[in-house]
Amino acid sequence: MPSSSAGIKPARASRFDVTKLGPILEDIHTRLAGVVIECLSWREFIDRYDSPGTLFYLDPPYWGPPASSPAPISSAWPRA
Protein backbone atom coordinates (compact mmCIF):
# COMPACT_ATOMS: atom_id res chain seq x y z
CA MET A 1 0.00 0.00 0.00
CA PRO A 2 1.41 3.45 -0.92
CA SER A 3 2.44 5.75 1.88
CA SER A 4 0.55 9.02 2.39
CA SER A 5 3.68 10.85 3.58
CA ALA A 6 3.90 12.89 0.34
CA GLY A 7 7.61 12.21 -0.04
CA ILE A 8 8.57 13.27 3.47
CA LYS A 9 11.36 11.22 5.02
CA PRO A 10 11.82 11.83 8.76
CA ALA A 11 15.47 10.73 8.63
CA ARG A 12 16.35 13.34 5.97
CA ALA A 13 16.53 17.12 6.26
CA SER A 14 13.73 19.15 4.68
CA ARG A 15 14.32 20.78 1.30
CA PHE A 16 12.21 23.75 2.43
CA ASP A 17 14.34 26.85 2.99
CA VAL A 18 12.50 29.74 4.66
CA THR A 19 15.24 32.19 3.60
CA LYS A 20 14.22 31.68 -0.04
CA LEU A 21 10.53 32.33 0.65
CA GLY A 22 10.71 36.15 0.57
CA PRO A 23 12.10 36.45 -2.98
CA ILE A 24 9.70 33.77 -4.24
CA LEU A 25 6.71 35.64 -2.79
CA GLU A 26 7.97 38.92 -4.28
CA ASP A 27 8.20 37.27 -7.72
CA ILE A 28 4.69 35.86 -7.34
CA HIS A 29 3.36 39.24 -6.22
CA THR A 30 4.89 40.95 -9.26
CA ARG A 31 3.64 38.31 -11.67
CA LEU A 32 0.08 38.37 -10.32
CA ALA A 33 -0.19 42.14 -9.85
CA GLY A 34 -2.46 42.62 -12.88
CA VAL A 35 -4.37 39.36 -12.58
CA VAL A 36 -8.13 39.36 -12.05
CA ILE A 37 -9.71 36.18 -10.74
CA GLU A 38 -13.29 35.65 -11.85
CA CYS A 39 -15.91 33.18 -10.70
CA LEU A 40 -18.29 33.20 -13.65
CA SER A 41 -19.98 30.64 -15.82
CA TRP A 42 -18.25 30.13 -19.15
CA ARG A 43 -21.07 31.98 -20.88
CA GLU A 44 -20.82 35.06 -18.62
CA PHE A 45 -17.03 35.02 -18.94
CA ILE A 46 -17.13 35.02 -22.75
CA ASP A 47 -19.86 37.66 -22.85
CA ARG A 48 -17.74 39.92 -20.63
CA TYR A 49 -14.32 39.46 -22.23
CA ASP A 50 -14.98 38.62 -25.89
CA SER A 51 -13.53 41.02 -28.46
CA PRO A 52 -12.23 40.75 -32.04
CA GLY A 53 -8.64 40.17 -30.79
CA THR A 54 -9.46 37.65 -28.04
CA LEU A 55 -8.62 33.96 -28.22
CA PHE A 56 -10.23 31.67 -25.65
CA TYR A 57 -9.10 28.15 -24.81
CA LEU A 58 -11.94 26.48 -22.95
CA ASP A 59 -10.90 23.29 -21.25
CA PRO A 60 -13.95 21.04 -20.94
CA PRO A 61 -15.11 19.90 -17.51
CA TYR A 62 -13.85 16.56 -16.25
CA TRP A 63 -16.61 14.35 -14.88
CA GLY A 64 -15.90 11.84 -12.18
CA PRO A 65 -13.45 12.10 -9.32
CA PRO A 66 -9.70 12.15 -9.85
CA ALA A 67 -7.89 9.31 -8.11
CA SER A 68 -6.99 11.51 -5.12
CA SER A 69 -10.39 13.22 -4.72
CA PRO A 70 -12.94 11.85 -2.26
CA ALA A 71 -15.86 13.59 -3.99
CA PRO A 72 -16.81 13.73 -7.67
CA ILE A 73 -15.83 16.99 -9.34
CA SER A 74 -19.34 17.22 -10.76
CA SER A 75 -20.70 17.68 -7.24
CA ALA A 76 -17.98 20.15 -6.22
CA TRP A 77 -18.40 22.53 -9.19
CA PRO A 78 -21.71 23.99 -10.28
CA ARG A 79 -22.77 23.43 -13.88
CA ALA A 80 -23.12 26.47 -16.13
As a 3-state breakdown, the chain gives helix, strand, coil percent values, each rounded to 5, of 35, 0, 65
The pLDDT score that the predictor gives to residue 32 is 93
d(Cα 10, Cα 67) in Å, to the nearest integer? 26
| pTM of the model as a whole | 0.40
pLDDT tens column, 8-52: 777 877 778 888 899 999 999 999 999 988 888 889 989 999 999
